[in-house]
Copies of this chain bind each other. A is one copy, B any other.
């Protein structure tokens, strides 16, 4: 075993936990494009957004100049229940791979929501509570975000209304029950509780729903119920801001031991984890203080970075949300039923989209059987059973480490282990039984999605 001066797990003390979130937009020369009002094609103003979002969160959404935003004490106290999260040196994986590379992962799964989503859920719930609101509405797919939000709302005594994609509601009753245990009300989407839901049901009877459709319902629910606002677990600038705590903690922990990563890897669905993990490192790169390779890993079956278009698009199926400029497969794109796990949103965070467009980060798409192979290998030596989403990052971290074995380079690799796979055993069972297959959408499939893109501004 290699130099053991670095412990298996680096835990910061509570005093060392970040007191500020870092807003990477402040250091970007090319800022992410603003959200547009689909009716006027003009940038959404603070007032335009007020019926949907909490005031303080709109400020954060629109603020692309303030570098450091203080984390309120109440949020820090909540963070202390499950943070600082460990930065783990993957000694056992390194040994198994016989690689000279040094592998670290920031593990965000040690909380009941099972993922990093809680970092933004508590922030959004806190600002809603602070504004005197009664509750919040949201959508959830596999259920990680919905679980995180229900935990945050239970803690603060806030109503939590979750629209859960119907296929997940039926196939993942356990996630649903976790949310209910935390007092959330969970409705399968599309439902007859909203106008947009009734419309979608009328047009597509028997549909099992999609994230885009659940978003439309949650937004309508918030805007038609006084005292409620809508919250979202990824994609938005504010979410990346809250998630910067992942990267800030990781950087503090590495700095303590004088370690500088060469490659930083994260899985990317809407971009919340990847954006949070890389933010402070990207800041150094943007300011010319250091250089890093950043790699976004996405599923080959939902390849928004690697095969999508950089364009303004609808964020939801019902087209009730503002337009966002992002790498997108089109709001009508739905990943094949073959695809297990999350990372199935059609678009990508505007911040990350801009950074990728400017050549500041790379992206690769991987197939799911290779992902589960990496997941199993990782679980057996590192103990943690990873979420399918997180395993995308594991796959590429292993690939990079194996490359180091060939070249003899002692690179330092950092990746984000966003969560655990305890609620994904149906997918693991498929893999264990040798029944998992891969699916890559054809160019024709993608063209159908692109055909639904709105007319672009000027």
Q: List residues of A whose CB falls within 8 A of some B CB.
A: 1, 7-9, 11, 13-14, 77, 80-82, 92, 110-112, 114, 151, 154-155, 173-174, 177-178, 180-183, 376, 379-385, 420, 422-423, 425-426, 428-429, 431-432
How long is the Cα–Cα vector from A110 to B108 in the complex, in angstroms? 12
CB pair B383–A112 under 8 Å, yes or no, is yes
Q: Which residues of B contact A112 (CB under 8 A)?
A: 379, 383-385, 420, 422
CB pair B379–A8 under 8 Å, yes or no, is no
Q: Which residues of B contact A177 (CB under 8 A)?
A: 425, 428-429, 432
Q: Which residues of B contact A178 (CB under 8 A)?
A: 385, 422, 425, 428
Q: Which residues of B contact A381 (CB under 8 A)?
A: 154-155
CB pair A182–B380 under 8 Å, yes or no, is yes
CB pair B432–A81 under 8 Å, yes or no, is no
Cβ contact of A428, chosen from B154, B155, B181, B379, cutoff 8 A: B181
Distance in Å from the Cβ of A103 to the closest Cβ of chain B? 14
Cβ contact of A423, chosen from B182, B183, B380, B422, cutoff 8 A: B422
Cβ contact of A92, chosen from B114, B155, B426, cutoff 8 A: B155
CB pair B155–A380 under 8 Å, yes or no, is yes
CB pair B8–A80 under 8 Å, yes or no, is yes
Q: Known contacts A80-B8, A383-B82; decide if A181 and B423 are in contact (CB<8 Å).
A: no
How long is the Cα–Cα vector from A92 to B8 in the complex, in angstroms? 30
Distance in Å from the Cβ of A129 to the closest Cβ of chain B? 15
CB pair B181–A379 under 8 Å, yes or no, is yes
A–B Cβ pairs within 8 angstroms, 26 of them: A8-B81, A81-B92, A92-B155, A111-B383, A111-B384, A112-B379, A112-B383, A112-B422, A114-B422, A151-B383, A154-B379, A154-B381, A155-B383, A174-B174, A174-B422, A174-B426, A178-B385, A178-B422, A180-B432, A181-B428, A181-B431, A182-B379, A182-B380, A183-B380, A422-B422, A422-B423
How long is the Cα–Cα vector from A151 to B111 in the complex, in angstroms? 20
Q: Which residues of B contact A423 (CB under 8 A)?
A: 422
How long is the Cα–Cα vector from A423 to B380 in the complex, in angstroms? 20
Distance in Å from the Cβ of A240 to the closest Cβ of chain B? 23
CB pair B425–A173 under 8 Å, yes or no, is yes
Closest partner residue, chain B, to A179 (CB atom): B432
Q: Which residues of B contact A380 (CB under 8 A)?
A: 154-155, 182-183
Closest partner residue, chain B, to A424 (CB atom): B174
Given A154-B379, A178-B422; 18 other pairs, CB 8 A cutoff? A7-B14, A7-B80, A8-B14, A8-B80, A8-B81, A9-B80, A11-B11, A81-B383, A112-B420, A112-B422, A177-B429, A177-B432, A178-B385, A178-B425, A178-B428, A180-B432, A183-B380, A422-B423
Closest partner residue, chain B, to A183 (CB atom): B380
Q: Known contacts A110-B110, A379-B112; decide if A174 and B81 are in contact (CB<8 Å).
A: no
CB pair A429–B385 under 8 Å, yes or no, is no
CB pair A181–B376 under 8 Å, yes or no, is yes
Closest partner residue, chain B, to A379 (CB atom): B181
How long is the Cα–Cα vector from A154 to B429 in the complex, in angstroms? 17
Closest partner residue, chain B, to A375 (CB atom): B181
| Chain A to chain B: the 9 pairs with minimum beta-carbon distance, closest first | A174-B425, A154-B380, A8-B80, A177-B425, A112-B385, A177-B429, A422-B422, A81-B383, A180-B432
Q: Known contacts A14-B8, A379-B181, A383-B112; decide if A429 and B173 are in contact (CB<8 Å).
A: yes
Distance in Å from the Cβ of A171 to the closest Cβ of chain B? 12
How long is the Cα–Cα vector from A428 to B177 in the complex, in angstroms? 7
How long is the Cα–Cα vector from A197 to B8 in the complex, in angstroms? 43
Q: Which residues of B contact A80 (CB under 8 A)?
A: 7-9
How long is the Cα–Cα vector from A416 to B87 in the complex, in angstroms? 25
How long is the Cα–Cα vector from A111 to B110 in the complex, in angstroms? 8
How long is the Cα–Cα vector from A347 to B1 in the complex, in angstroms? 43
Q: Which residues of B contact A13 (CB under 8 A)?
A: 7
